[in-house]
């Protein structure tokens, strides 16, 4: 059986007396054991919610920024102009060749 302090830490309640008091103040209208039972039930609910957020997500995905986790917007984004329409792609390729040859693109 865990202590109330252990449950508070696991639920993310801060260690200072002010933070702990702020959590328990929401149950001040209850008497004795009912106050403790309600507080412990809320702590367990907070812990379960915290665990549910991290379950099923691989550890490596939690550490990567969202930008790195998302796939490219178009299937051809990796090879540049592959996602462009047929009319636009030849013009873009021609401009690219002109830039590579040192000519100024129109």
- Encode pLDDT of 4-51 as tens digits: 999 999 999 999 999 999 999 999 999 999 999 999 999 999 998 888
- Give me the chain's average pLDDT, please: 74
Q: 104 CB contacts (<8 Å, ≥6 apart)? A: 98
Domain ranges of the chain: 4-63, 72-101
What pLDDT score was predicted for residue 5?
92
pLDDT on residue 104: 57
Quote the CA–CA distance of 92 and 47 in Å, as a whole number. Answer: 55
pLDDT at residue 52 in the model: 76
pLDDT of 69 over the 70 cut = no
- The answer to whether 69 and 60 are in contact (CB under 8 A) is no
Instruction: Tell me if 94 sits within 8 A of 100, measured CB to CB.
Output: no
Residues in the chain: 106
Question: In this structure, what DSSP letter does residue 72 have?
Answer: P
The model's pTM:
0.51
């Amino acid at each position: 059986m865990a202590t109330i302090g252990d449950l508070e830490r696991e639920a993310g309640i801060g260690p200072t007396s002010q933070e702990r008091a702020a959590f328990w103040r929401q149950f001040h209208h209850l008497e004795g054991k009912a106050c403790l039972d309600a507080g412990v039930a809320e702590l367990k609910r907070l812990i379960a919610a915290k665990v549910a957020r991290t379950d099923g997500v691989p550890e490596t995905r939690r550490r990567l920024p969202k930008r790195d986790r998302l796939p490219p917007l178009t299937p051809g984004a990796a090879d540049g102009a592959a996602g462009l329409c047929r009319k636009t792609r030849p013009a873009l390729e021609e401009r690219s060749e002109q830039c590579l040859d040192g000519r100024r693109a129109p």
